[in-house]
Structure 1
Amino acid sequence: MPEPLTPDDPRPDEPRADEPQTDEQLDTDAGPAEVPSTRAAASDKSPAGDVTPSDSDAGSAPEPINWRELVRDFVKPGRAQVVFAAILLVCGLAVAMQVRTQASETDYSTLRRADLVQLLDDLTAQSRQLESEIAELEATQRQLQSGVDSEQVAKEEAQRRLDVLAILGGTAPAQGPGVRITINDPQHKVTSELLLNTIEEMRDAGAEVIAINGSIRVVASTWFGPGPGGSLVVGGEQITRPITIDVIGDPHALTEATQFSGGLVSEVESSRIGGTVSVVADGKLTINAVVAPPSNRFAKPA
């Protein structure tokens, strides 16, 4: 029967003080916290002695930004974001003002000399016409204010205005100096858009009366469109080729309006259409085509 141990006697699993301890016992007594691992130390240092990142740091990727962070940045932007937004706003306002300024200004620097001369001639003709109208109105005013047969003068002036409006409205024949334009289009490539642009150019040049093919009076309500088989329709009537346009106005201004770059002559005689244009001035051109005035649906004489 073994003898009981006293406090002074060592336990069986503890080494005696007078016995030498082995390396395994020293490692066990010191614990893992006191003895550093040689393998870990070797892996943390590179052959040159530099510290290398661990496997967990090398394999980690940046976390994606979720929508909450985007909303937070939008609601509460940082100082750099506010400054950048202000710079973009100033640049946008500057660009918008520059574009608006360029759109409002008319630049004639790209026009040719012939185009500038034509614009000047058109303005001169319009200025002369307005001066003539001013002189006539002033003479009528003086006659009405003089009191001598003012009633007869008023009637004559009213009749004159009625005749002018009838000519402009297309309800009465007209005659006067002008030009006759003949468009030969053998390939039927003249479009309604080109014909409409020609009429607009004639009006800008001071045309007072316009007729197409001698039977269609062009007024404010006249429309242009394509017809069957490549034909053209003007005011609801189909027109045949060659196309003849009679225009009453200043012959010189009307002729120049057809010959500028991009105008009727250059467009029709280009390789795209392959036609020809003839412009002949006439000192006494007569236009007999008229339009029937539409009946009033709502208005009545007062």
Structure 2
Amino acid sequence: MLAGLGFGLAVMVRSADPADRLGRLRPDELAAELENLSVDGQRLQDEAGGLRATQSAIADGARGDADIDRARQEADALAVLAGTSPATGPGVTLTINDPRGTVEAWILVDALQELRDAGAEAIELSGVRVVASTYIVDAPGGGMTVDGGQVAAPYVMRAIGDAHTLAQAMRIPGGVLDTVATRDGAQAEVANSERIEIRALRTVPSPRFARPAD
């Protein structure tokens, strides 16, 4: 018990040492001690402020990086839709054989529209990138004119999107496959694929009259 009491007293003495030491200091020594404590406190405040500034800068940088990544993703998506960037993904390939020239342009237009309605995100028709302004007309002497270029059978459409949904859109009763089957000698088939690559690109013309609004 005495040993325990002795330990307690020793702890109490050691705990009291700083106060005793300050109590024994002369006024000038005490003033110097307080000045040192004030300087140390200011230094810690400055360091804390610097750390808060660093933390804020890191947070701002992270938000900036996220904004840059989001803008880049949106630009990539717009480039795919505009046809100015290659695209790859799951989808379908629609092949229309027309050895006798009985398939008319409106059938291909319907096929494009059905693919778009089914969620196709990128389409290529026989090497021509399909965009919102794409037009298809019957060409004199056979074949089709697609955006001013001549296209001959077999007509091959590649579309990127949900493969199952796109294929079902082609196979609906009265849809593209049924319509092509009514044309003499023509035949159409659709094939699903886990990876479709669309490499054909479009150039975006410069606007002649339109300007960005303020």
2:164 corresponds, among 252, 256, 259, to: 252
Matched, 1:274 2:185: yes
Q: TM-score, normalized by length of structure 1?
A: 0.49
Tell me the CA shift for residue 147 of structure 1: 5.5
CA distance in 2, matches of 1:300, 1:259: 44
Choose 1 or 2 for highest CA Rg.
1
Question: Residue 290 of structure 1 corresponds to which residue in structure 2?
Answer: 201
CA distance in 1, matches of 2:129, 2:194: 20
Tell me the CA shift for residue 158 of structure 1: 0.6
Per the alignment, in what secondary structure is the counterpart of residue 289 of structure 1?
Answer: coil
Tell me the CA shift for residue 152 of structure 1: 0.9
Number of aligned residues: 155
Matched, 1:201 2:133: no
Per the alignment, in what secondary structure is the counterpart of residue 161 of structure 1?
Answer: helix
CA distance in 1, matches of 2:153, 2:210: 40
Q: Write out aligned runs for 1:137-176 (5 A).
A: 149-176=62-89
Per the alignment, in what secondary structure is the counterpart of residue 229 of structure 1?
Answer: coil
Tell me the CA shift for residue 273 of structure 1: 3.2
> Would the aligned equivalents of 1:268 and 1:274 in 2 still touch at CA under 8 Å?
no
**CA RMSD in angstroms, aligned pairs only:** 1.6
Amino acid at match of 1:258: M
CA distance in 1, matches of 2:210, 2:171: 44
Q: Structure 1, residues 231-250: CA drift from partner, whole Å, max 9, x if none?
A: 21111111011110000011
Amino acid at match of 2:115: M
Per the alignment, in what secondary structure is the counterpart of residue 228 of structure 1?
Answer: coil
CA distance in 2, matches of 1:154, 1:273: 56
Greater share of strand residues, 1 or 2? 2
CA distance in 2, matches of 1:161, 1:179: 25
Amino acid at match of 2:206: S
CA distance in 1, matches of 2:184, 2:108: 13
Question: Which is bigger in relative contact order (C-alpha 8 A, separation at least 6)?
Answer: 2
Tell me the CA shift for residue 148 of structure 1: 6.6
Per the alignment, in what secondary structure is the counterpart of residue 206 of structure 1?
Answer: coil
Matched, 1:240 2:152: yes
Question: Residue 181 of structure 1 corresponds to which residue in structure 2?
Answer: 94
Tell me the CA shift for residue 296 of structure 1: 2.0
Question: Residue 143 of structure 2 corresponds to which residue in structure 1?
Answer: 231
Structure 1 unmatched ranges of 5 or more:
1-145
CA distance in 2, matches of 1:149, 1:260: 48
Structure 2 unmatched ranges of 5 or more:
1-58
Per the alignment, in what secondary structure is the counterpart of residue 184 of structure 2?
Answer: coil
Question: Residue 176 of structure 2 corresponds to which residue in structure 1?
Answer: 264
Q: TM-score, normalized by length of structure 2?
A: 0.69
Give runs of ≥4 in structure 1 deviating > 2 Å: 298-302
Q: Write out aligned runs for 1:68-217 (5 A).
A: 149-213=62-126, 215-217=127-129
Percent identity of the aligned residues?
39
Amino acid at match of 1:233: T
Tell me the CA shift for residue 173 of structure 1: 0.5
Amino acid at match of 1:290: L
Per the alignment, in what secondary structure is the counterpart of residue 286 of structure 1?
Answer: strand
Per the alignment, in what secondary structure is the counterpart of residue 141 of structure 2?
Answer: helix
